[in-house]
Structure 1
């Protein structure tokens, strides 16, 4: 989202000259609220839904991979091959999706290519159908020819057509969608097509769009819209419910939902607003969501200034530290939060914010952590996108006695604009570093996440079947963080019901490929079997890939499902 884009921007900025934090200013007087975290009520696997951005990544060290890794980036929207867009006063095009593809993949993210950003101007200046279709051919052929590029999971056919599509010159957008969809599919039968990318959710627009797409056989693979108003985090649940009702009424199978622009220009850099979006996106089943591009490109959308963290960075870093399962949170007034439970380490990670004064976090379902737990409370600053914060502030650390599986933690003197973290661990015997990495928490490319009662943490990855090319190859990338450089034994939990030994390729940090063999097991989705291999890792972050197919790998044999990897 460029700063001049949105038709509501002027009104938003006028209002916010009067109230700095928008809707968050009023609840500053409403202390005494309780956020409830129910650790025993799982919501979904941790995939860091809200960790992404539009034009977030440029080439080189803008931003550095070392600052990207801790965020566990989920998804990005980048310009297409040869993109010429000059957003927000930029003097050169940036962030070409093919040029940054290796960096995006290394960070564990996937990306859409925003096709109309092949134009330099915004709003886009339509030339002709011949011009547009020639551009589409050039973009798609460039991607198809980039045989080493992976993690590109969508052509975003247009952006905010509700006000940027030139109907007078180009005809109705619904007809344009059909025509362009068919052209892309004639050139690339594999890469998903996503849209319609309206600037905000509108029931009537969605009905019109989906009816045409259904009737012409051009349904998007991922549905996209934007949430950019000051209070849009309040509306996400209603929008999702309405969209699902529209799908059902039209007989359309459920599509994943991407909110690939979120947060208004004045609120995008407020840590507590970020927490509100994290919470509602996780709660309402959004697949991925990306911070809007209102200001500078290549800064992870303001999480970095001069390649160093801002206050909001630490809220996303805490969110990035989540592993295992997202668990239920129940907000209290404007006190909102997102929480996870890592059953292997017995860690509960709560990120919260939105109210001022003295408030409480009540956490239930802690029986597995023991009779006493250690609770560390930290907070961000509120300095905005041009003020660096070198580290979060530790507010307190204390031991709590667990009563009936629950504790209540006071969070006093809250700032309504800051984000806070509660990290809850066993009082003794807490893990010093993460050793088990669940497959369903990893980067899953051309495969699927599934549930099983026998799987570690209840989830696994299956349908790791593709070998054809870099658009269809199937693999799972584990981003692991180890304390020292050395050789690590690595145990892999798996299932293989083919009746014969199956194989995957194994590579890490650009290493040569080796082979992992999986002897047959009793049934699909039934876990307990393991194999062990060895990986030589550097201190800090490493990417470990297990692949049925991947660039520079000839391809695995048979089929296997992945439960987890564990380093020891």
Structure 2
């Protein structure tokens, strides 16, 4: 399910006349935020495993066309392990666009891929680069209907000539790559000759044999199905074992749980009598899953999966924007970027334990040299409530407990694009263990947010505690310290599955006004961004109005659209007005409010 696949791009919402209709039409795009419910996950300090390797810190087309962007200062903190590219969507059409020859269209694509690979496989990163062979060839969903695919009518000669040219150019460059032969051969957008068909195996076998003839040590990656599929992989392994064309790396995309999928793949290898091969997932996270909480959950599960590398998928800015698959917005880090940074900061030894509970997962590591334990917490269901992390067997890290105390720091990683100021510290204080276990309660105030926990030796401090509360857009009781008020021409919609508490307050009438009264030191406003959303103006405490454009080419139903500066403690009022104006690309001037987060010290 490559982001270029038109089957998935078609999920983007079409324009509608009213905000309520738009909200309901998109109700299935994201998981419903679960009702606030407490959950517990366990980390066992006595169960110390291998060193963390930042599995999952990889990017599909995350670099600029020549590989120079983003800057090292935005890339190195994530400790990226895997990159994937092949010049998709670069004008010229690749080998196919050159009339099935090595002309200018082919050259610009292979040069782009090699430039990217040269940077990330070098001494600063030592990452792996999966060269998308089919993209250099031209199968990036832009190919015409009369395309002659490799081995059509049993003729593989031109395909063989392409592989020879490609391998020769890679070897001449001196850049190490892994050959990912064909992207998503089960989808018509890339391969229109049938999944696991006889022609597919003719194409695959020809490529493998030529690559191994010309570059015997080069890794080959496949089959790169659009999703984990037991039956397809079973058939592929059986056939390629028979043909002696097994890949060096077994790869697939997406999936429900990488740990479960990897276990199934290893069982299939054993069932076929094949020695265990490295496993990779070089595309993961659908567009509606790309928020801080879900990203953290998937990374947590990757850390437990045994998968050697994985790459974040791209959906909105393919294929040379240099945004790390939208982890950067306007050159600034998003909440997801900070999730990857927190994940990369796991050091020392990975810790075992229950790891998951329902939709909540945790990955943790103990670093004796640094005298710290770090954990990343995420969920895949929009769940709120309290997620208590039980760090048990503290005796295995006796240096943590000083005078009967362990110091805990909790940081919330809001799902905000960009995330100005970085993660928010919500707890920074000593805690008292209970019978060798430290109970760290993480108050999940926003279902799309991730959390990072750091344990260090107790130091007698009781640092600031910042509390953040989430206020749904339908909270209108004036007796509450935090509440919304709506004037004329506002409506409310219930049952919207991809919004907090499944509700939205909306207006498509210019001049319609609402306000949010709150008591605290900071506020974050969440609203719908979509193809039919307009421009709203915001004014805090009667100050100058600022425009917020809620248009987006793909729906984000509950993202942060505006964050205040740090405020003086006390009561404040945020005034929200439908300006009646819209972005030129938008089909409407709807405004739909989801919720607000209020922070107080």
TM range (shorter): 0.5 to 0.7
Q: Distance in 2 between matches of 1:96 and 1:289?
A: 21
Deviations for 1:177-205, whole angstroms, at most 9, x for unmatched residues? 11110011111111111100011122221
- Is the deviation greater in 47-56 or in 34-43? 34-43
Structure 1, unaligned runs of 5 or more: 431-568
Q: CA deviation at 1:318?
A: 0.5
Instruction: Report if aligned partners of 1:85, 1:119 keep a CA contact under 8 Å in 2.
Output: no
**Is residue 2:318 matched to residue 1:294?**
no
Corresponding position of 2:302: 281
Corresponding position of 1:159: 183
Deviations for 1:275-331, whole angstroms, at most 9, x for unmatched residues? 111111111211111111212242111111222201111111000111112212522
**3-state SS in 1 of match to 2:357:** coil
Q: Distance in 2 between matches of 1:413 and 1:276?
A: 14
**3-state SS in 2 of match to 1:377:** strand
Label 1:183 to 1:61 Cα distance change in 2 as closer, same or farther (>3 A): closer
Aligned partner (choices 307, 311, 331) of residue 356 of structure 2: 331
Label 1:6 to 1:330 Cα distance change in 2 as closer, same or farther (>3 A): farther
The count of aligned residue pairs is: 414
**Is residue 2:74 matched to residue 1:56?**
no
Q: CA deviation at 1:241?
A: 2.7
Instruction: Report if aligned partners of 2:388, 2:442 keep a CA contact under 8 Å in 1.
Output: yes
- Superposition pairs for residues 490-509 of structure 1, below 5 Å? none
Q: Distance in 2 between matches of 1:379 and 1:85?
A: 45
Instruction: Report if aligned partners of 2:57, 2:340 keep a CA contact under 8 Å in 1.
Output: yes
Corresponding position of 2:345: 321
Aligned partner (choices 392, 407, 410) of residue 374 of structure 1: 407
Deviations for 1:229-281, whole angstroms, at most 9, x for unmatched residues? xxx44x4333223222221121111111101000111222x011111111111
**3-state SS in 1 of match to 2:77:** helix
Q: Distance in 2 between matches of 1:295 and 1:94?
A: 23
**3-state SS in 2 of match to 1:50:** coil
Q: CA deviation at 1:419?
A: 0.7
Q: CA deviation at 1:35?
A: 2.0
Deviations for 1:367-415, whole angstroms, at most 9, x for unmatched residues? 222242211111122224xx34341111120111233332111122521
**Is residue 2:269 matched to residue 1:243?**
no
**3-state SS in 2 of match to 1:138:** helix
Aligned partner (choices 121, 131, 135) of residue 117 of structure 1: 135
Instruction: Report if aligned partners of 2:269, 2:276 keep a CA contact under 8 Å in 1.
Output: yes
**3-state SS in 2 of match to 1:96:** helix
Corresponding position of 1:217: 244
- Superposition pairs for residues 42-441 of structure 1, below 5 Å? 42-58=48-64, 59=66, 61-79=68-86, 96-104=112-120, 105=122, 106-120=124-138, 122-123=140-141, 125=143, 126-127=147-148, 128=150, 129-147=156-174, 149-150=175-176, 152=177, 154-163=178-187, 164-167=190-193, 172-227=199-254, 232-233=255-256, 235-268=257-290, 270-296=291-317, 297=319, 298-328=322-352, 329-354=354-379, 355-367=383-395, 368=397, 369-371=400-402, 372-384=405-417, 387-428=418-459
**TM (normalized to structure 1)?**
0.67
Label 1:322 to 1:252 Cα distance change in 2 as closer, same or farther (>3 A): same
Instruction: Report if aligned partners of 2:58, 2:80 keep a CA contact under 8 Å in 1.
Output: yes
Q: Distance in 1 between matches of 2:268 and 2:441?
A: 43
Q: In terms of Rg, which structure is larger?
A: 2
**3-state SS in 2 of match to 1:197:** strand
Q: Distance in 2 between matches of 1:120 and 1:263?
A: 24
**TM (normalized to structure 2)?**
0.63
**3-state SS in 2 of match to 1:98:** helix
Q: CA deviation at 1:13?
A: 7.1
Q: Distance in 2 between matches of 1:4 and 1:146?
A: 28
Q: CA deviation at 1:346?
A: 2.4
Instruction: Report if aligned partners of 1:359, 1:414 keep a CA contact under 8 Å in 2.
Output: no
Question: CA RMSD for the aligned pairs?
Answer: 3.1
Q: Distance in 1 between matches of 2:374 and 2:413?
A: 15
Q: Distance in 1 between matches of 2:48 and 2:326?
A: 31
Deviations for 1:58-97, whole angstroms, at most 9, x for unmatched residues? 236421111111101111112179976889xxx9969823
Instruction: Report if aligned partners of 1:83, 1:119 keep a CA contact under 8 Å in 2.
Output: no
